[in-house]
């Protein structure tokens, strides 16, 4: 796949590989096997809906990385990765969902051929796509090797976004603005929730200003009424009702990059405690943005938010944000930093977060959130431009 057809420049991929190799040296890893689809894409450009089978990127300290996966997905790899065709390795279909053999046997053969039979091999132990069976088989096949937990090693290298990445995230943010506005505008009593979500999907995929929309790593979360007390419900075929709140937790996606945005709408006259909570949440967001400065810590953002919520008697606690960028299902977070009172990670320019202080109470839920980027000087920049408030439609 010629580099001119990949999403990023060769210099950008070189930067990523160099950062990852530095982290490998620090962890004492000879060769890394990265299975997280987001990490595969970040290192090589691979982009395909094949993460339901075993696949990954092999990265040593020399040469280009190798993409390894199912043989029928090898052509997809050749169409999307920046490396030459010989850097794509495919295993036979007889390994798929077999009771007599496992794809890790094939991977072990490649690692032996590369001279890593007795090496320190980094694997992503806490990852959706690296199963217990995979680890057991790989460990048995390479009994002389030492398996090193490399969970989130690549993820941490992704935290500070390059200018090329920020261009994609800003495009995603424009799509996020569009789809949230679609949700707010079309929400009315009697509207079927599934039809509303269909409009959101259509708006997201058609994109903005010629920038087409990709599928987001999380489907639209749009619960109403008592369902809005739960943060991760999707949609149903019910009619929207007067007297209920609905929150929209959505993200535009451009070339796998996300910029999540949440807003809430009440159909009718909301109760005073909901209005008070919404105002405090907005104040907390603004205080958090002010605290989200290079050199400050992730916990400083959380403490600024919580101070405003405490003024109306809300003790939210917990996590209120996480890094975002390139992602595949089932999650658009990067699974590293957490914006919460106990995380002392120092903020750096170019870090991007979903500042996500949702409120899920006993009777209703409310979400007003922002995707933010840490700047060189001053407070964080919110990438979307939708008014921070509880939207009310009488």
What is residue 347's predicted lDDT score, i.e. its pLDDT? 98
Is 60 exceeded by the pLDDT of residue 103?
yes
Output the CA angle 1-55-102, nearest 5 degrees. Answer: 140
State residue 210 phi and psi, 5-degree precision. 85, -5
**DSSP H or E stretch at residue 68:** strand 66-70
Q: What's residue 1's pLDDT?
A: 53
pLDDT at residue 6, rounded to an integer? 87
Question: Measured in Å, how far apart are the chain's first and last C-alpha atoms?
Answer: 55
pLDDT at 2 over 90: no
Q: What is the per-residue pLDDT for 318? A: 86
Chain segment 301-327, per-residue pLDDT in tens? 999 999 999 999 999 888 999 999 999
Reported in sequence order, the residue ranges of 239-294 that DSSP labels E, i.e. its strands, are 245-254, 257-267
Gap between the Cα atoms of 141 and 147, Å rounded = 12
pLDDT at 183 over 70: yes
Strands across the sheet with 370-373, in order?
A: 321-323, 352-355, 370-373, 381-382
Residue 3 clears pLDDT 80, i.e. is over it? no
The confidence score (pLDDT) of residue 359 equals: 96
Q: Choose the CATH number for 163-393 among 1.10.1200.10, 3.90.230.10, 3.40.50.1980, 1.10.3720.10.
A: 3.90.230.10
Per-residue pLDDT at 361 exceeds 60: yes
Tens of pLDDT, residues 37-81? 999 999 999 999 999 999 999 999 999 999 999 999 999 999 999
C-alpha torsion sign, points 141, 142, 148, 151: negative
Look at residue 393 in the predicted model and tell me its pLDDT.
97
CATH architecture entry for 3-157: 3-Layer(aba) Sandwich (3.40)
258-277 per-position pLDDT tens digit: 999 999 999 999 999 999 99
pLDDT of 4 > 80? The answer is no
Q: Could you state, in order of their start, the residue ranges of all structural domains in the chain?
A: 3-157, 163-393
DSSP letters of 86-124?
GGEEEE-GGGTT-SS--HHHHHHHHHHHTT-TTSEEEE-
Distance between CA atoms of 315 and 313, rounded to whole angstroms? Answer: 6
Scan for tokens 């105002």, then name that residue: 279
Burial of 99 (0-12, 13-18, 19+ CB in 10 A): exposed
Which pLDDT does position 237 carry in this prediction? 96
Average pLDDT, the chain: 97
Q: Which residues of 48-70 are buried (b: 16+ CB within 10 A; e: fewer)?
A: bebbebbbbbbbbeeebbbbbbb
């Amino acid at each position: 796949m010629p580099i001119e057809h990949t999403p990023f420049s060769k210099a950008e991929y070189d930067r990523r590989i160099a950062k990852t190799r530095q982290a490998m040296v620090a962890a004492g890893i000879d060769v890394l096997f990265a299975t997280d689809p987001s990490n595969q894409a970040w290192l090589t450009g691979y982009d395909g809906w094949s993460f339901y089978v075993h696949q990954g990127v092999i990265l040593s300290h020399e040469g280009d990385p190798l993409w390894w996966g199912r043989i029928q997905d090898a052509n997809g790899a050749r169409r999307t990765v920046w490396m030459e065709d010989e850097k794509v390795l495919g295993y036979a279909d007889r390994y798929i969902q077999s009771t007599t053999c496992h794809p890790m046997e094939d991977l072990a053969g490649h690692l032996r051929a590369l001279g890593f039979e007795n090496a320190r091999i980094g694997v992503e132990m806490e990852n959706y796509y690296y199963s217990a069976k995979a680890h057991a088989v790989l460990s048995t096949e390479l009994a002389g090797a030492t398996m090193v937990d490399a969970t989130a090693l690549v993820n941490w290298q992704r935290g500070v976004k390059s200018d090329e990445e920020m261009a994609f995230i800003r495009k995603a943010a424009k799509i996020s603005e569009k789809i949230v506005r679609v949700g707010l505008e079309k929400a009315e009593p009697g509207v079927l929730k599934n039809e509303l979500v269909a409009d959101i999907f259509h708006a997201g995929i058609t994109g903005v200003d010629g920038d087409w929309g990709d599928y987001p790593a999380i489907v639209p979360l749009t619960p109403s009424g008592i369902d809005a007390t739960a943060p991760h419900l999707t949609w149903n075929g019910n009619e929207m009702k007067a007297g209920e709140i609905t929150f929209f937790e959505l993200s535009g996606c451009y070339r796998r990059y996300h910029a999540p945005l949440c807003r809430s709408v009440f159909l009718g006259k909301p109760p005073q405690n909901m209005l008070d909570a919404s105002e405090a949440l907005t104040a907390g967001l603004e205080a958090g943005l002010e605290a989200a400065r290079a050199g400050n810590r992730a916990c400083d953002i959380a403490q600024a938010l919580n101070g405003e919520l405490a003024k109306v008697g809300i003790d939210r606690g917990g996590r209120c944000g996480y890094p975002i960028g390139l992602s595949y299902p089932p999650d658009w977070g990067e699974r590293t930093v957490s914006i919460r009172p106990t995380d002392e990670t120092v903020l750096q320019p170019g870090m991007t977060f979903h500042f996500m202080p949702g409120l899920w109470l006993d009777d209703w839920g409310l979400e007003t959130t922002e995707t933010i980027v840490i700047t060189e000087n001053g407070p964080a920049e919110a990438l979307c431009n939708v008014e921070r408030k509880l939207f009310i439609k009488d």
